[in-house]
């Protein structure tokens, strides 16, 4: 009985991969593009420490989950990252707002591409993820009144997240590897 359930999970993952196969290619390209756009948006990344510690455990916990759960986590994360950029006054950032707009368009495309890979019934990725991003926005944009420094922190933390999401995505592309 147990092995049947495992097989079912495995098949579900594979079906999803087949369905999204074409898109997985472009995801890699988009992901490279959004990271590049983020890096070129401003100058050097700030050396300042973020007041909210980076949630590495959320990412390591994901590595033991189903492919679909991981894709859902990536999609939810991208959505929350996009949200961050709508929570403060962007005009006080050190870079041009139009650069953020272009970056966000790429993130949207990355996120929307995941939609057919994630079933509607799939649960949200859990309250810890949402709580983390809310706290991040509170301790930076809100408490620092959208100062240029708070945007620099958001940009730096965004890069860390996009890098982690890329690593997680790499485990999806090799479905037989780490399941
Ligand atoms: C994007 O891809 C190019 C070519 O493969 C690579 O040189 C570059 O380092 C990548 N950029 C990022 C931000 O990953
Ligand atoms: C956002 O910041 C800019 C420049 O600092 C300022 O002119 C503008 O009034 C602010 N907008 C809001 C909605 O606070
Ligand atoms: C963030 O601030 C909002 C508004 O003050 C508050 O309702 C929420 O509980 C705070 N969340 C966290 C995680 O700090």
Q: Which atom, in ligand 3's list, is nearest to the CA of 132?
A: 13
- Ligand 1 lined by 26 (C-beta under 6 Å): no
Starting from the CA of residue 106, give the closest ligand. Answer: 1
- Distance between Cα 146 and ligand 2 center (Å): 10
Structure tokens at 21: 């196969």
List the one residue out of 99, 96, 114 whose CA is nearest residue 172: 114
Using only the alpha carbons of the chain, give its radius of gyration. 17
Tens of pLDDT along the chain (179 residues) come to 455 445 545 555 555 555 555 666 788 899 999 999 999 999 999 999 999 999 999 999 998 898 888 989 999 999 999 999 999 999 999 999 999 999 999 999 999 988 877 876 667 778 899 999 999 999 999 999 999 999 999 999 999 999 999 999 988 875 444 44
DSSP assignment letter at 118 = S
The helices-and-strands tally (H runs, E runs) of the chain is 7, 0
Instruction: Give this prediction's pTM.
Output: 0.85
DSSP letters, 90-133, are GGGSSS-HHHHHHHHHHHHHHHHHHGGGS-TTSPPS-HHHHHHH
Taking the centre of ligand 2 as the mean of its atom positions, its distance from the CA of residue 91, in whole angstroms, is 6
Torsion, CA 59, CA 116, CA 20, CA 118, rounded to 10: 30
Q: Are the beta carbons of 172 and 3 closer than 8 angstroms?
A: no
Total residue count of the chain as it appears in this document: 179
């Amino acid at each position: 009985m147990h092995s049947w359930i495992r097989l079912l999970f495995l098949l579900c993952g594979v079906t999803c991969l087949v369905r999204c196969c074409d898109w997985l290619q472009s995801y890699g390209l988009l992901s490279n593009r959004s990271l590049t756009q983020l890096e070129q948006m401003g100058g050097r990344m700030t050396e300042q420490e973020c007041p909210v510690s980076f949630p590495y455990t959320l990412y390591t916990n994901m590595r033991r989950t189903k492919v679909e759960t991981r894709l859902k986590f990536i999609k939810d994360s991208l959505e929350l990252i996009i949200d961050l950029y709508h929570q403060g006054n962007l005009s006080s950032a050190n870079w041009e707002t139009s650069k953020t707009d272009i970056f966000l368009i790429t993130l949207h495309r990355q996120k929307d591409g995941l939609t057919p890979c994630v079933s509607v019934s799939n649960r949200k990725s859990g309250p810890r993820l949402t709580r983390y991003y809310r706290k991040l926005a509170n301790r930076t944009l809100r408490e620092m009144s959208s100062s240029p420094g708070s945007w620099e922190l958001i940009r730096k933390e965004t890069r860390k997240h996009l890098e982690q999401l890329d690593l997680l995505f790499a485990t999806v592309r090799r479905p037989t590897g780490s399941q």
